[in-house]
């Protein structure tokens, strides 16, 4: 197992794949979070009935496999609209919406966790809706939502392994290319897994720590 | 620009084949869920036990399952294990991969659920003359499964969505695999995958609604 044909160049190739994984994740989580906060606030403000269409659309992103979402988006953009866009763009687009669907749910949960009486108290003190949101809801909701959000970001990082279907060579795809060439699946997969683990594990632990630290009991 | 003509009829003609695929998808998901729950209970027991090696095994399993992509786990089951000369069929590899993932996530849920069950419950069971095994089996476990019913439903939905990854190890009987093969035949990519997406959506909705009904029936009190 230690007698390997893996060269320094191959390692650089893997590192590039890892870079793509991180870039795709960072872009998607950034855009997805902004959209998710927007959708989450809209859902809470409008109430269950008025926001039903939005809920339905976001629900689709959570109930259809990501692989199918990617293939569909790629087919739609490429074959139906006949636009020349890169797979990278499609990957970021789909993953952003995918993230926003989950993020909206987290944001909604966070806002719902703020007691209605607290918010009414804020409004009674003469705060505007914006002030209430900014000074009362935001700090309290963050306590509830941030640990789940870290989990979501890590989930998107792991799910970004699927963007290979739109011809984006991220970490797992790079590994697969090397496996085809070097024929050392176990060794290469262990390197690949170790990489995911190294990124994910400390952040997951940090999320768990925050959750424990910030819980009310 | 918009000169693409949708051919829904062509794609819909393949619906029966896709529904057959959906059945296989359900089979994999249900099997992986049942095995996953059994393994997760085992892992939870390992974690509760005083034995260090058992704890280490359980913790490693849970952390790897939770911190690497499901696709990686399926690859590992198919290509990784193959380097030891053991070759699984795509169906088995997919099942192993998803079961591994399910067990890891569920074990974590179970651990959270156990925290919510007071120690006094076990002690009361023991005082009534139950053995440790009996008090876990009849007192703690039912409560644990009850508390983690909702997370289990979510995991079931995840298991269904994860079956679509089987195509990467050559699975062609499940819903995604069938759709992929039909796509190779007909090139109606958008139509076929849209239908597959709808089928997946309907399946997950049935699961979540069904679970809600079962929960209402089971947890009336």
Domain spans of chain B? 17-218
The pLDDT value given to residue B1: 54
Q: Which residues of B touch A185 (CB under 8 A)?
A: 75, 79-80, 82-83
- Residue B44: pLDDT band (50, 70, 90) is very high
Q: Please say if the pLDDT value at position B56 is more than 90.
A: yes
Can you say whether the dihedral through the CA atoms of A126, A128, A130, A133 is positive or negative? Answer: positive
Q: For residues A88 and A92, what is the distance between their CA atoms, to the nearest angstrom?
A: 6
Q: Is A167 helix (H, G, I), strand (E, B) or coil?
A: coil
Contact criterion met (CB < 8 Å) for B83 and A68: no
The predicted pLDDT at position B120 comes to 93
CA distances from B70 to A88, A133, A170, B98 (A): 21, 37, 15, 7
Report pLDDT digits (tens) over A156-183. 999 999 999 898 999 999 998 998 888 8
Contacts of residue B16, Cβ cutoff 8 Å, sequence gap at least 6 = none
CA dist., res. B202 & res. B25, Å (int):
13
Q: What was the pLDDT predicted at B2?
A: 63
What length does chain B have? Answer: 221
CA distance A69 to chain B (A): 8
Residues B205-209, mean pLDDT to the nearest whole number:
93
Establish if A158 touches chain B: CB-CB under 8 angstroms: yes
What is the DSSP annotation of B100-121? HHHHHHHHHHHHHHHHTS-HHH
Provide the mean pLDDT of chain B: 90
Structure confidence at residue B170 (pLDDT): 87
ipTM at complex level: 0.88
Contacts of residue A149, Cβ cutoff 8 Å, sequence gap at least 6: A33, A103, A106
Q: State the pLDDT at residue A11.
A: 87
pLDDT digits (tens, 9 = 90+) for B131-144: 988 999 999 999 99
pLDDT of residue B129: 93
User: Hey, is the C-beta of A3 within 8 angstroms of any chain B C-beta?
Assistant: no
Identify the CATH number of the domain in which residue A91 sits: 1.10.3720.10
C-alpha A58/C-alpha B186 separation (Å) is 30
Burial class of residue B92 in the structure, from the number of CB atoms within 10 Å of its CB (0-12 exposed, 13-18 middle, 19+ buried): middle
Distances (CA, A) of A98 to A57, A64, A85, B106, B192: 11, 10, 19, 23, 21
The pLDDT value given to residue A70? 94
pLDDT of residue B32 exceeding 70:
yes
Residue B125 burial (CB count, 10 A): 19
**Which structure tokens are listed for A178?**
């090397």
Min distance A125 CA to chain B CA atoms (Å) = 38
Smallest Cα distance from B128 to chain A, Å: 31
Cα-based distances in Å from B164 to A65, A191, B70, B93, B181? 7, 25, 11, 13, 13
Q: How confident is the model at residue B66 (pLDDT cuts 50, 70, 90)?
A: very high
Distance CA B170, CA A36 (A): 35
Cβ of residue B3 closer than 8 Å to a chain A Cβ: yes
Selecting from A67, A154, A176 the residue whose C-beta is nearest the C-beta of B176 gives: A67
B134 min Cα distance to partner chain A (Å): 31
Of A64, A82, A186, the CB nearest to B1: A82
In a domain, A88, yes or no: yes
pLDDT band at B60 (very low <50, low <70, confident <90, very high): very high
Give the count of alpha carbons within 13 A of A22, CB side only.
11
- Determine contact: A131 vs chain B, CB below 8 A: no
Q: Domain span at residue A160?
A: 21-168
The answer to whether B164 and B201 are in contact (CB under 8 A) is no
A176/B200 Cβ within 8 A: no
Q: Running DSSP on this structure, what letter comes out for residue A169? A: -
Judged by CB atoms within 8 Å, which residues 86-145 of B form the interface with A? none
Residues B188 and B31 sit within 8 Å (Cβ to Cβ): no
A140, part of any domain? yes
CATH code of the domain made up of B17-218: 1.10.3720.10
List chain A pLDDT tens, one digit each, 217 residues: 456 777 888 889 999 999 999 999 999 999 999 999 999 999 999 988 999 999 999 999 999 999 999 999 998 888 888 888 888 999 999 999 999 999 999 999 999 999 999 999 999 999 999 999 999 999 999 988 998 999 999 999 999 999 998 989 999 999 989 988 888 888 889 999 999 999 899 989 998 888 888 876 5
Confirm whether A186 is domain-assigned.
no
| CB contact A49 to B (< 8 Å) | no
The per-residue pLDDT for range B10-26, each reduced to its tens digit, is 778 888 889 999 999 99
Q: What is the mean pLDDT of chain A?
A: 90
CA B145: distance to chain centroid?
A: 16
Report whether B51 contacts A172 (CB < 8 A): no
pLDDT number for residue B5 = 77
Q: Which residues of B touch A64 (CB under 8 A)?
A: 161, 197, 200-201
- Identify the band that residue B35 occupies on the pLDDT scale cut at 50, 70 and 90: very high
The reply to whether A150 falls in a domain is yes
Q: By the 8 A CB rule, do B156 and B211 touch?
A: yes
Q: Does B170 touch chain A (CB under 8 A)?
A: no
At B21, list the tokens: 């695929």
Is A14 domain-assigned? no
Number of domains in chain A: 1
Task: Write out the DSSP string of B172-212.
Answer: -SSHHHHHHHHHHHH--HHHHHHHHHHHHHHHHHHHHHHHH
């Amino acid at each position: 197992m230690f007698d390997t044909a893996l060269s320094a160049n191959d390692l650089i190739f893997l590192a590039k794949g890892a870079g793509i994984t991180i870039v795709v994740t960072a872009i998607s989580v950034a855009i997805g979070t902004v959209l998710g906060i927007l959708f989450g606030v809209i859902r809470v403000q409008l109430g269950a009935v008025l926001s039903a269409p939005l809920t339905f659309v976001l629900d689709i992103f959570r109930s259809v496999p990501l692989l199918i979402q990617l293939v569909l988006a790629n087919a739609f953009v490429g074959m139906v609209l006949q636009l020349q866009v890169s797979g990278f763009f499609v990957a970021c687009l789909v993953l952003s919406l995918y993230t926003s669907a989950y993020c909206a749910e987290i944001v909604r949960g966070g806002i719902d966790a703020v007691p209605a009486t607290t918010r009414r108290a804020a409004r009674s003190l003469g705060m505007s809706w914006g002030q209430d949101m900014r000074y009362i809801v935001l700090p309290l909701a963050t306590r509830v939502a941030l640990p789940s959000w870290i989990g979501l970001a890590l989930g998107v990082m792991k799910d970004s392994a699927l963007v290979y279907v739109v011809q984006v060579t991220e970490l797992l795809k790079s590994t697969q290319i090397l496996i085809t060439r070097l024929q050392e699946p176990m060794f290469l997969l262990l390197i690949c897994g170790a990489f995911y683990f190294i990124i994910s594990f400390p952040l997951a632990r940090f999320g768990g720590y925050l959750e424990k630290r910030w819980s009310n009991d | 620009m918009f000169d693409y003509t949708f051919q829904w009829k062509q794609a819909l003609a393949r619906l029966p084949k896709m529904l057959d695929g959906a059945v296989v998808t359900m089979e994999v998901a249900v099997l992986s869920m049942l095995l996953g729950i059994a393994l997760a209970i085992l892992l939870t027991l390992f974690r509760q036990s005083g034995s260090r090696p058992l704890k280490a095994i359980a913790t490693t399993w849970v952390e790897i399952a939770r911190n690497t992509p499901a696709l990686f786990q399926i690859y590992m089951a198919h290509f990784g294990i193959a380097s030891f000369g053991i070759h699984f069929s795509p169906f088995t590899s997919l099942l192993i991969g998803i079961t591994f993932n399910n067990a890891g996530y569920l074990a974590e849920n179970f651990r959270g659920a156990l925290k919510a069950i007071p120690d006094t419950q076990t002690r009361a069971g023991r005082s009534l003359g139950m053995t440790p095994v009996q008090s876990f089996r009849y007192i703690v476990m039912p409560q644990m499964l009850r508390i983690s019913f909702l997370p289990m439903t979510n995991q079931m939905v995840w298991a269904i969505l994860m079956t679509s990854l089987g195509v990467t190890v050559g699975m062609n009987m499940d819903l995604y695999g069938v759709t992929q093969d039909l796509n190779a035949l007909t090139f109606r990519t958008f139509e076929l995958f849209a239908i597959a997406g709808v089928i997946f959506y309907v399946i997950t909705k049935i699961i979540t609604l069904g679970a809600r009904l079962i929960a209402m029936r089971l947890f009336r009190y």
